[in-house]
A and B are shown apart, each in its own frame.
Chain A
């Protein structure tokens, strides 16, 4: 449900709840009882559903992920002026949607991948506000980056299938496709966010969103 519709629904629900609250003798008429039922039960329940869905949708945005201070440097690393950095290469060339960049690569595409990502997100929020926030350089993935995430887009693409680097040995591509050879951690595409490089890095765009001078 689009956000403006959700907000309108909640606003309407709020207005009707207030109407029922301040109108006298509402329970004396049949119409009044029906209005109270809709305003105090049906619309609030639908509003909660819409609001929850809207919050989950918005939690997939890059802006949401980077709103926690600890993630700032990971956001900056999307602007390296060096195509050997895989996240920057994908972000700058629109290989991933920029407004959903984190979610696109850090959600696995298995059956419950999205659900798992949401629960991980809840855990991150809990740690952010009620736990001990780790240093950015101490943040690690829960498990090695799965090839399936890369293959979700690259599998079958001509460049991926034919590039020389994927045919260094006869069975290399098969190993990549079956997950026996990791895209990221087998030494081929292992330059990722590398936030330790930020200090001396050159950026394509100002990583803080300001114009470069």
Chain B
């Protein structure tokens, strides 16, 4: 998988996490907090890790 594909994958996962975070802030309910902490943040965190890994692996492979 090239860097472009890895970035695309990371960005879409981050976007999904951010969308969940955005939606969780609309209702005022404890379940919204659960959705934020239990879904939005972990999904976004996975995306950020994928992004950082894509940078590291890209550097290790000589930026090709």
Contact = CB atoms under 8 A, between A and B. Distances in A.
**Binding between chains A and B:** yes
Interface of A: 3, 6-7, 10-11, 13-14, 17-18, 20-22, 24-27, 36, 39-41, 44-45, 47-48, 51-52, 54-55, 58-59, 61, 63-64, 67-68, 125, 128-129
A125 B19 CA distance: 23
Interface of B: 3-4, 7-8, 10-12, 14-15, 17-19, 21-22, 24-25, 28-34, 36-37, 40-41, 44, 47-48, 51-52, 58
B21 A48 contact: yes
Contacts of A128: 30
30 contacts: A10-B21, A10-B22, A10-B25, A11-B22, A14-B19, A18-B11, A20-B7, A21-B8, A21-B11, A21-B15, A22-B8, A27-B4, A27-B7, A40-B11, A41-B51, A41-B52, A44-B14, A44-B17, A44-B18, A44-B47, A44-B48, A48-B41, A51-B40, A55-B24, A55-B32, A55-B33, A58-B28, A67-B28, A125-B33, A125-B34
A22 B9 CA distance: 10
A67 B32 CA distance: 11
A55 B25 contact: yes
Contacts of B21: 10, 47-48, 51
A36 B7 contact: yes
B18 A13 contact: yes
Nearest to B19: A14
A17 B33 contact: no
Nearest to B26: A7
Contacts of A26: 4, 7
Contacts of A10: 18, 21-22, 25
B29 A67 contact: yes
